[in-house]
Amino acid sequence: MTTDRTTTPATGPDETRFALSCDGITKAFQGVRAVNGATFDVPEGLVTALIGPNGAGKTTVVNILSGSMTCDSGTEHIGGTDVTNWPSYRIARLGLMRTFQLSRELGGLTVLENLLVAAPDQAGESMVNVFFRPSAVRRQERENVARALDILETYGLFHLRDNRASDLSGGQKKLLEISRAVMASPKVLLLDEPMAGVNPALIERIGGYILDLKAAGVTVLMIEHNLSVVERICDHVIVLAEGQTLATGKLSDLRENEEVVQAYLGEVIDASTHG
Amino acid sequence: MQLFWLSVGFGLVTASVLAISAVGLSLQFGITNYINFAYGDFMALGAFVTYVLNNEVLHWNIWVALVAGSLAIGVLAVILNRLILSPFARRFSKSFYVLIVTFGLSLVLLNIEYSIWGADVRFFQMPIDRALHIGPLLLTKYQLVVMAIAIVLMLGVHAMLKTTRLGKSMRAMSDNTTLAMTSGIDTKRITTITWFLSGTLAGLAGAVLGITEGNLTPASGELFLFVIFAAVIVGGVGSIYGAMAGAVLIGLATEISAAFINPAYKLDTAFVILILTLLVRPAGLFARPGKA
């Protein structure tokens, strides 16, 4: 791909716009290459699944894309801006938010406060504003609280708004993570196994929330092992194996791809048929 | 009974100084996760900068000098963190190494203070103050102002932590730095602000310690540091509200014991309370999950 990504968002041959692109990303841990030249584009406004066998480097890629980890080589672009090895707070402020495989929460803060810290462009961050524009800071804070309460209502956490986040159940923590990401008004959302360890009813609910986000124009990239979920909610699939991009496309097409079946899908389909 | 109320008055004054210093130490620990052994020297430097402005060179009013001296230590704390502590913290994941560096920094700062001001006892330039009867308590105007400063600051710190974006960011970072960063919080900036606040509170605590004790020496901060540690640990390391509560408890206990047992055992009293607290609640009275 030769598109100049530093100035304009990358586009594909059919004029598909890409919200997020990475090119030749590598990352080694003590000599072992966890990511070995991963290259892919995430179409704007769609839900894309990142699938692959265990150890394929999926979480490492998400860590690199979100700035939680730096890459050894390669580049990353968000909407045309080169964000390679930017710190995670700058990437978050540019509109890319993430959740974690094992839910993380700010346990000492209340559920409501967990959302408030993620609100973007806050006037109260500047000491100058705190002292010299207190009314503007207070007004924005009131707006943020109202918006956070709205989001908590949507995600069924409103009644827990004053509870400490550490007191939530596993499923509630998953919802809190997504709510916190939504609070930041993201353009791109990276979800690391959002369905892992949650009950079937909650899987349905989370799937519905992801489709709602897509309808609102948010680009979603999610690591997911559950192929029925991928089939139902993902428009596009990226297959990663041994730290490289093995294939991209629709799941139905990838099922016909022998390499993909051998590396991953065969294993998953076998497991689901025999399980 | 009169002796008791007199010692309660002293206890409240000591608690005020302790609260200011313990909150400063706790704020910084909560964010960086290592104890700053040079904190006592930041206090002494704050007292001496105030002394220079008040008595030695400019003859400013004590309260104006105190504000300027405190802010100067806030700036110094930011510079020392940027140049010395932060590079070590980045290089070594174990906080033990940085703790040793702060210990070395403490020795360097102490000796700089000795080389500039010597070991002589110094005094602020303040009018002689008459004691006032407030209920059963007997307090000077300066002591009352120090108590008022402590109360206002504690309320201010509480309001900042609970209601402002900055405070929430500090609490988020203290809770989980990685998650705070991925939520869009500029942790480097928050660390800098925290060092400024911690340094300012250290400088202020040093200066008000000099005011309430009536004198200052380069070692006064280091000696007081042990009492601050006792207050912070009794309250629960990393907990700001714990530090406030620990300060009141240790401040009152040390002064009341000094009146009824022996002033020489003040420090011992603080450590007896510390040991008893740790036996009953090993993490301190107000420990937060995830912190020490």
Residue B19 belongs to some domain of the structure? yes
Q: What is the distance in angstroms between the Cα of A164 and the nearest Cα belonging to chain B?
A: 11
Tell me what the mean pLDDT of segment B156-163 comes to: 88
Q: Residues with Cβ < 8 Å from A83, sequence gap 6 or more?
A: A67, A76, A77, A90, A91, A94, A96
Q: Does the structure show a pLDDT above 90 at B153? A: yes
For each of the domains in chain A, give its residue range(s) and CATH number, in order of start.
18-105+185-274 (3.40.50.300), 107-167 (no CATH)
Task: Tell me the C-alpha distance between B97 and B90, whole Å.
Answer: 11
Contact B171 A87 (CB under 8 A): no
- Please tell me which of the candidates A68, A124, A180 has its beta carbon nearest to residue B164: A124
Task: Tell me the C-alpha distance between A222 and A273, whole Å.
Answer: 24
Q: Does the structure show a pLDDT above 70 at A8? A: no
Residue B195 belongs to some domain of the structure? yes
Tell me what the mean pLDDT of segment B28-53 comes to: 93
From A256-260, B86-90, B171-175, the region with the lowest mean pLDDT:
A256-260
Q: How high is the pLDDT of residue A270?
A: 57
| Residue B221 pLDDT level (bands cut at 50, 70, 90) | confident
Percent of chain B surpassing pLDDT 70 = 98
Comparing alpha-carbon positions, the chain B residue that sits nearest to A145 is: B163
Q: Does the structure show a pLDDT above 50 at B239? A: yes
Residue B286 belongs to some domain of the structure? no
Tell me what the mean pLDDT of segment B22-31 comes to: 91
| Residue B6 pLDDT level (bands cut at 50, 70, 90) | confident
From A183-187, A255-259, B52-56, B67-71, the region with the lowest mean pLDDT:
A255-259
From A208-222, B178-192, B262-276, the region with the lowest mean pLDDT:
B262-276
- Please answer whether residues A177 and A207 qualify as being in contact, where contact means their C-beta atoms are separated by less than 8 angstroms: no
Packing angle, helices B187-213 and B165-175, rounded to 10:
100
Range of the domain at B71: 2-119+133-280
Phi/psi for A251 (5° steps) reads: -60, -40
| A145 at interface of B, judged by CB pairs closer than 8 A | no
Q: What is the distance in angstroms between the Cα of B170 and the nearest Cα belonging to chain A?
A: 10
Q: Does the structure show a pLDDT above 60 at A254? A: yes
| B61 at interface of A, judged by CB pairs closer than 8 A | no
Contact B181 A67 (CB under 8 A): yes
Tell me what the mean pLDDT of segment B162-173 comes to: 89
Q: Does the structure show a pLDDT above 60 at A149? A: yes
Q: How high is the pLDDT of residue B291?
A: 46
Comparing alpha-carbon positions, the chain B residue that sits nearest to A166 is: B289
| A120 at interface of B, judged by CB pairs closer than 8 A | yes
Comparing alpha-carbon positions, the chain A residue that sits nearest to B162 is: A113
**What's the structural domain count of chain B?**
1
Contact B166 A125 (CB under 8 A): yes
Q: How high is the pLDDT of residue A15?
A: 61
The winner for highest mean pLDDT among A35-39, A101-105, B285-289 is A35-39
**Selected residue of B166, B175, B176, B182 to mutate for chain A interface (largest A Cβ count, 10 A):** B182
Tell me what the mean pLDDT of segment A147-152 comes to: 96
Residue B288 belongs to some domain of the structure? no
Q: How high is the pLDDT of residue A1?
A: 35
Q: Does the structure show a pLDDT above 60 at A271? A: no
Contacts A–B by Cβ distance under 8 A: 88
Average pLDDT, chain A: 87
Q: Tell me: the pLDDT tens digits for A88-139?
A: 999 999 999 999 988 899 998 999 999 999 998 787 777 777 777 888 888 8
- Please tell me which of the candidates A109, A117, A124 has its beta carbon nearest to residue B185: A117
Report the candidate in B223, B226, B227, B220 with the shortest Cα–Cα distance to residue B206.
B220
Residue B125 belongs to some domain of the structure? no
| Residue A7 pLDDT level (bands cut at 50, 70, 90) | very low
| Residue A12 pLDDT level (bands cut at 50, 70, 90) | low
- Of residues A149 and B215, more confidence is placed in A149
| Residue A268 pLDDT level (bands cut at 50, 70, 90) | low
Q: How high is the pLDDT of residue B74?
A: 97
Residue B75 belongs to some domain of the structure? yes
Q: Tell me: the pLDDT tens digits for B46-74?
A: 999 999 999 877 889 999 999 999 999 99
Residue B128 belongs to some domain of the structure? no
Contact A109 B172 (CB under 8 A): yes
Q: Tell me: the pLDDT tens digits for A42-101?
A: 999 999 999 998 889 999 999 999 999 999 999 999 988 999 999 999 999 999 999 998
Contact B165 A109 (CB under 8 A): no
- Please tell me which of the candidates B183, B193, B290 has its beta carbon nearest to residue A117: B183
- Please determine, for the modelled complex, whether the ipTM score is greater than 0.85: no
Q: What is the distance in angstroms between the Cα of A197 and the nearest Cα belonging to chain B?
A: 21
| A131 at interface of B, judged by CB pairs closer than 8 A | no
CATH of the domain at B233: 1.10.3470
Report the candidate in A76, A94, A89 with the shortest Cα–Cα distance to residue A21.
A76
From A2-6, A18-22, A166-170, the region with the lowest mean pLDDT:
A2-6
Residue B157 belongs to some domain of the structure? yes
Tell me what the mean pLDDT of segment A187-216 comes to: 93
- Please tell me which of the candidates A109, A124, A127 has its beta carbon nearest to residue B171: A109
Percent of chain A surpassing pLDDT 90 = 64
Tell me what the mean pLDDT of segment A169-187 comes to: 94
| Residue A227 pLDDT level (bands cut at 50, 70, 90) | confident
